[in-house]
Amino acid sequence: EVQLLESGGDLVHPGGSLRLSCAASGFTFTSFGFSWVRQTPEKGLEWVSTINGRNTYYAESVKGRFTISRDNSKNTLYLDMAGLRVEDTAVYYCAKGGVDTAMIIDWWGQGALVTVSP
């Protein structure tokens, strides 16, 4: 069974940094692309970043501050977040891309809460 387990969510001050991790199991990790999607009651679901092969993509709101990466030897996806802002507060979901395209999410993790507050 596919499992995506996020960790690293925490309370941080504005300007701080945080690393989210997503441990994957139940499928061949190297065969798929992955995304991070965040959710707030105010903005709903918001795409953050996707990694597909050697290509990475970012939302304008996080470009230059967040970095998506993966360690295929550990079956783990990462999101390094720097220069955090109050508006980055959200539940962050690790999401697995589909067979045909990384841009269609066919499995979501349970989410990690990131709170940015003074």
Partner 1 sequence: DIVMTQSPDSLAVSLGERATIHCRSSQSVLQSSKNKNYLTWYQQRPGQPPKLLIQWASTRDSGVPDRFSGSGSGTDFTLTISSLQAEDVAVYYCQQSYSIPLTFGGGTKVEIK
- In the complex with partner 1, which residue's Cβ is closer, 77 or 105? 105
Smallest separation (angstroms) from partner 1 to the CB of 82: 20
Q: Which of 1, 28, 44, 118 binds partner 1 (CB under 8 A)?
A: 44
Q: Is 84 exposed, middle or buried (0-12, 13-18, 19+ CB in 10 A)?
A: buried
Smallest separation (angstroms) from partner 1 to the CB of 103: 4
Question: How many residues line the site for partner 1 (CB under 8 A)?
Answer: 22
- Is 114:22 a contact under the CB 8 Å cutoff? no
Q: Is 100 exposed, middle or buried (0-12, 13-18, 19+ CB in 10 A)?
A: exposed
Asked if 104 touches partner 1 (CB under 8 A), the answer is yes
